[in-house]
Amino acid sequence: MKIICSKLNLVKGVNIVSKAVPSKTTMPILECILIDATTDIIKFTANDMELGIQTEIEGEIIDRGMIAIDAKIFSEIVRKLPENDVTITTDDNLQTTIVCEKAVFDISGKPGEEFSYLPVIEKEDSITISQFTLKEVIRQTIFSISDSESNKLMTGELFEINNNMLRVISLDGHRISIRKIALRDEVNNKKLIVPGKTLIEISKILSGEADSMVNISYTDNHVVFEFDRTIVVSRLIEGEYFKIDQMISNDHEIKIRINKKELLNCIDRATLLVKEGDKKPIIININDEVMELKIKSQIGSMNEEIYINKEGKNLMIGFNPRFLLDALRNIDDEEITLYLMNAKAPCFIKDDEESYIYLILPVNFNAVS
């Protein structure tokens, strides 16, 4: 194989596919990037068997062929080359020579045939949304997946297509995050549970442009994201996702309008007094026109008042401050609305259209604190 690509294009390609190179694996071939120049197009592929990424690289093919090269070494080398054209040549012994200006690297590769290609997916159905929307939706929900493997379903997000609406849902047992997007085209109803890791990695690759689209196609076992010149294939998580709609009620006794930034900064300050792993709740005392927030720990205590616009009764309720912070940091609205019932029922933060809904369970507290 002999190909010539600019350093820039190589770096771009390596950065994209590296997201699917496993950090630990018992199969050394998976630590490689496959450089495939067997057709008229140069393609880089990486695959950790759950998640696979393939991207096309602009460049010239002098001799067709393919080679698998250790992803870490290859990525470090191309990154440090001068900004110029790079020639990559392999010989019959899989010895790979990378030449750029006067710099010559020699490293050994592995046979491309040993590489696990991406699974070929018979696309049954698909939806199209912008890169911007997909990236935002992931950011706004990914924080409330669970990282514990003890409940596999919670490590993923539900992509629920229903009546030409896409709902993306995550939950970890203490809170639920939901974002809703209208789809442009008619599409069949479908539920996919996409692994959180896939979404985290894809979100790093997405340019986030509003006028560049992502095609999302799926079968019962796989989901395929296609955008720019990149294909991301991921296994789906098997199983029946939680019945969300039963948990979301529209009942409320208290409705509060509050400035998001003031609330966010106040809780952020309060968490200073809570050490990592400590479960001190923040106590919210809701009165007419004013909300008092209090926290008390071994380190000290804090209290602060924020003006609010309230409908309904007064209430004292406690929350894990980090759960409130996570939700508030991912809402773009300046003014937000909180809906509450009583000290034991969840708090909802949502907009009128329910384009976002954050449900957070309260925690018990001693009324004295």
Smallest distance from its own copies to CB 299, Å: 6
- Binder among 169, 266, 327, 347 for its own copies (CB under 8 A): 266
Tell me which residues in 59-78 interact with its own copies (CB under 8 A).
70, 73, 76-77
- The answer to whether residues 245 and 300 touch, using CB atoms and an 8 Å cutoff, is no
* Contact flag: residue 107 with its own copies (CB under 8 A): yes
* Contact flag: residue 89 with its own copies (CB under 8 A): no
C-alpha separations of 325 from 160, 297, 328 in Å: 26, 18, 5
**Binding region for its own copies (CB under 8 A) out of 43-51, 150-158, 262-270, 316-324:** 262-270
> 156-186 in b/e burial notation, b at 16+ Cβ within 10 A?
bbbbbbeeeebbbbbbbebbbbbbbbeeeee
CB atoms closer than 10 angstroms to residue 24: 7
Tell me which residues in 271-290 interact with its own copies (CB under 8 A).
272-273
* Contact flag: residue 41 with its own copies (CB under 8 A): no
Q: Taking each helix axis from N to C terminus, what angle separates 321-329 and 260-270, rounded to the nearest 10 degrees?
A: 140
CB proximity list for 366: less than 8 A, separation 6 or greater: none
Residue 16 CA neighbour count, 13 Å, CB half = 25
C-alpha separations of 329 from 35, 143, 200, 353 in Å: 40, 10, 17, 19
- Binder among 84, 189, 301, 309 for its own copies (CB under 8 A): 301
Residues 147-186, mask of contacts with its own copies (x by CB under 8 A): ----------------------------------------
- Binder among 50, 58, 304, 351 for its own copies (CB under 8 A): 304
Smallest distance from its own copies to CB 179, Å: 29
Smallest distance from its own copies to CB 84, Å: 12
Q: Which residues of the shown chain bind its own copies in the complex (CB under 8 A)? A: 70, 73, 76-77, 80-82, 102-108, 265-266, 268-269, 272-273, 299-306
